[in-house]
Structure 1
Amino acid sequence: MPTVRPRHRALTGLAIAGALIATASASAVQGPLHTSGGQIVDQANHEVVLQGVNWFGLETANHAPHGLWTRDYRDMLAQIKAQGFNVIRLPFSLQALKSTTTSGIDYSNGHNAALQGKTPQQVMDEIIAEAGRQGLGVILDNHSGADDGYMSPLWYGTGGFTEDDWVNQWSALAARYAGNPTVLGADLKNEPHGEATWGTGQANDWRRAAERAGNAVLAKAPNWLVLVEGIEGPVAGGQYLDRNWWGGNLEGVRQNPVRLSVANRVVYSPHEYGPGVFAQPWFSSPDMATILADRWTKGFGYIRDAGTAPILVGEFGAKNVGTDTVEGRWIRQFADYMGRTGTSWTFWAWNPNSGDTGGVLQDDWQTVNPAKMALLSALIRREAIAYAPGSGTTPAPTPT
């Protein structure tokens, strides 16, 4: 399989407590969420479409979401909500949650006062609490073991972290936030790739590991959604496609779906990118539009179409979204695909400092990129309805 260049994450060193998108005309979303066939639904079985952004930084050496060196976190979350998003995907590293220190946070003029003196885990607590108050759900994303370790192919092995460490951290997070309606679920591991396999039963079998970690999560937080990404290489039993993004190969689900102890909790989560991330051969083909549509159906759309499980695209993004570039034509076609199929998604990224894609925000960390936001606003369903089951207050710390 080809090696796909990763995105340079940074150029510098739910039940829902808010508005969700629902296709039904019901007066309120009734959490917690679960799955029904190819849909995410609430307790009344009304379809809910999650549409949001990635806000990264907790997985870096800063041990805190980026941009807090220039803005207050409450203002940042309020702006995310004001754009119409209903969820944030919050990346973190195992190393950050074992650390006691943060950096890159401005405390002048009263900014981020609630974060001062807090550990990275406590910063996560505060971000989740404020997201709930703002009406945003949160999906926790284990982006890496070591800080800035997103290039690591597996869920173990970087920074000295083992599979047991990874599972135990997920169990601790599930116990910590099980009673918090803002936290919707767990994206178990960002972009398994390289030597990761699917359905082999070996130590590097991602499907096996996802079942182990997913069941550990559900033992403490049985109402959470469990997001499972794919791998990069070929899967046991054969497949249709011969090239994939990191974490993008979900063809193994056909013969070897993820099995969890609680039914109706699995959501499969591919990532999809354009030529700004890697010049895949289909981007130079005159039949690009046809090839892309075929890839999306065979690569992951079949899972939803067969009623096996829903799809949430955990990452997609581009610097240029105009119709005059291949990158822009790709992302417009993909946005149209997600809109037509009712697919949930979280855009990469809210941050402007993602090297290959930029973000919704421009480099001043204040101004929204108008072209990107116009694209996403057209995609966001507007049947948003308020649902506030609780304040999103921070749970009591779990002993470590």
Structure 2
Amino acid sequence: MLVVAVVLRFSLQRMPSVQARTHQTVLTEPDNLTKSKPQFTPPFRTAGRHIVDADGRRFKLASINWYGASDIYYVPGGLDVRHRSEIAATIRRMGFNSVRFPYSDQMVLENLVIAPELISANLDLLNAYALNQNGRLDEKLKGPRALDVFRACVEAMTDAGIAVIPNDHITNAHWCDGKNLCDASWKNDHYGPICKVRQTTESWIENWKIIMRPHIDNPLVIGADLRNEPRGLWGTMTWNMWATAAEQASEALLKMQPNWLMFVEGVSSANDCSGARNRPVKLSIEDRVVYSSHVYQWSGWSTLVPYHSRPYPSFALDMERNWAFLRRGNIAPVWVGEFGSPHGGDDRDHHYWDNLMRHLKDTDADFGYWALNPRKPENYDNETYGLLADDWQTIIEDWRYQDLRRLMPPVDA
């Protein structure tokens, strides 16, 4: 009882009231949705510009990013507020059929014991471990550790019929380390001792094996998003460097499970997949490569005119150059794995958003919205791009969510 009291008090202190917020709807529990089988049959492969299931039907990724395991506490967001199975059910009710699920390499390497207050709505994860009189895990015991929690959340989502795509999001555990060269690539050993978490291509691949090994026999873990926003020092990250590393990691993972899809993001912070025009990613198993691009309102810096200031023809031309040519030419699927806008938003946010929604509709591209989370882990800062309120159940049903719903495939498709 002491443990329960401690963790409940911690959760209540962290969870502000959501009653005063506007444009929110608590999604009801449609029994036939969360208990029905998914509307697709794994395993998956690519067929031209589409991902298709085992029956040859298109499976359009309508994804949401659920982050936290990549951050400073190594724990997916919301586990101190709601049970992981409830979060998974909410994602499914929102209409998303898949989740991009980030982790950090530091999380894998350290795999720390997780404090009970960080998972206080998931105390069943503590059942196998002893607690001391202060309600804390005995540090001498093995677990529940970060990888245990990560795996449990993946299984909760796949149990709910959601496809999961783990994502190597960052090397150092943090919300964003965009200015840190040690996080600008899948490897940083060439920077010498300046990097807190040093990583080679080989150790990066080993971390991927650790992440994916528990899910070899889970058909709804459909593949691996190999690295978030590879960029390197400005002007030094070539597509060929990244494509070669992506092939090396993909081959190692496909030896474990040949059915997995390999998601390869563009360079220049995932903006640019244009290198695939002349140097595609080629694997020993065909029909496994999905390219991925990120599109935000501040993107488009290569021409010094961000997307929030582009007229639609200029915006669409950049999308064509960066990734849409792959779909138009029926070469490969493209997953716009990150994009988003803040709740409310100013004129620039809406201008960018309207252009992107128009283009996603015109190209019928797969997509992944950033993000589900209402809060960032460090300092409990507001995640202005989040689609859920602080109770991890109430949807912010504003213009963003309404537009996303229009992009989602029908449930019976």
- Same fold per superposition (TM over 0.5): yes
The answer as to 2:375 corresponding to 1:353 is yes
2:104 counterpart of 1:77? no
Aligned in 2, Cα 1:106/1:173: closer, same or farther, shift over 3 Å? closer
Aligned position for 1:154: 185
Matches within 5 A, 1:185-200: 185-195=223-233, 197-200=237-240
Aligned twin of 2:305: 281
Alignment counterpart, residue 163 of structure 1, candidates 183, 196, 201: 201
Matches within 5 A, 1:213-224: 213-224=249-260
1:35 maps onto 2:73 in alignment = no
* Secondary structure at the counterpart of residue 335 of structure 1: helix
| Counterpart Cα distance in 2 of 1:39 and 1:340 | 15
TM-score normalised to the size of structure 1?
Answer: 0.79
CA gap of 1:277–1:53, structure 2 versus 1, over 3 A, is farther
Select the residue among 100, 105, 108 that pairs with 2:112: 100
Q: Does 1:132 align with 2:158?
A: yes
Correspondences of 1:285-300 after superposition (within 5 Å):
285=309, 288-300=311-323
**What displacement does 1:173 show?**
3.1
One-letter code of the match for 1:257?
A: P
Q: 1:368 aligns with which of 386, 395, 405?
A: 395
SS at match of 2:267: coil
In structure 1, how many angstroms separate the alpha carbons of the residues matched to 2:264 and 2:384?
A: 23
What secondary structure sits across from 1:270 in the alignment? Answer: strand
What is the aligned partner in structure 1 of residue 131 from structure 2?
none
* SS of residue matched to 2:293: coil
Tell which structure's C-alpha radius of gyration is larger.
2
Question: For the structure 1 residues 107 and 265, does the alpha-carbon distance in structure 2 shift closer, same or farther, using more than 3 Å as the test?
Answer: closer
136, 139, 142: which is aligned to 2:168?
142
- Superposed, which structure 2 residues align to 1:168-183 within 5 Å? 168-183=206-221
From 79, 84, 87, give the equivalent of 1:68: 79
How many residues end up aligned between the 2 structures?
342
- CA-CA distance at 1:170 after TM superposition: 1.6
Instruction: Report the Cα distance in structure 2 between the residues aligned to 1:284 and 1:172, rounded to whole angstroms.
Output: 40
Percent pairwise identity: 30
* One-letter identity of the residue aligned with 1:129: E
Distance 2:238 2:119 in 1: 46
| In structure 1, C-alpha distance between the alignment counterparts of 2:36 and 2:264, rounded to whole Å | 24
Deviations 1:284-333 (A, max 9, x none): 64x521111111111100011112210011101000467x7221132133
Which range moves more in the overlay, 158-167 or 33-42? 158-167
Q: Within the alignment, does 1:209 sit opposite 2:220 as a pair?
A: no
- The structural deviation recorded for 1:42 is 1.1
Q: TM-score, normalised by structure 2?
A: 0.76
Compute the displacement of 1:362 (Å): 2.9
Give, in whole Å, the separation in 2 of the partners of 1:254 and 1:277.
19
1:57 aligned partner: 68
Distance 1:80 1:277 in 2: 31
Shift of the 146–106 alpha-carbon distance from structure 1 to 2, 3 Å rule, reads closer
Q: Which residue identity lines up with residue 147 of structure 1 in the other structure? A: A
Q: Deviations over 1:204-224 (max 9, x none)?
A: x11111111111111111101
Find the aligned partners of 1:290 and 1:277 in 2 and give their Cα distance.
14
Closer/same/farther in 2, CA of residues 107 and 147 from structure 1, 3 Å limit: closer
Residue identity in the other structure for 2:407: L
Shift of 1:164: 1.0
How far, CA to CA, are the matches of 2:71 and 2:271 in structure 1? 23
Amino acid at match of 2:105: L
Q: 1:119 aligns with which of 141, 145, 162?
A: 145
**Structure 1 unpaired stretches of 5+:** 1-11, 21-27, 233-245, 386-400
Alpha-carbon distance, 1:105 to partner:
4.4
Unaligned runs of 5+ in 2: 1-13, 15-34, 127-142, 189-194, 377-381
Instruction: Report 1 or 2 for greater relative contact order, CA contacts < 8 Å, sequence distance ≥ 6.
Output: 1
Cα distance in structure 2, aligned partners of 1:303 and 1:77? 32
Task: Give the equivalent residue in structure 2 for 1:325.
Answer: 347
User: Residues 95 and 104 from structure 1, CA distance in 2 versus in 1: closer, same or farther, beyond 3 angstroms?
Assistant: farther
Structure 2 SS opposite 1:368: strand
Structure 1 counterpart of 2:324: 301
CA distance in 2, matches of 1:284, 1:106: 37
Moved over 6 A (4+): 276-279
* Distance (whole Å) between structure 1 residues aligned to residue 70 and residue 388 of structure 2: 19
Amino acid at match of 1:142: D
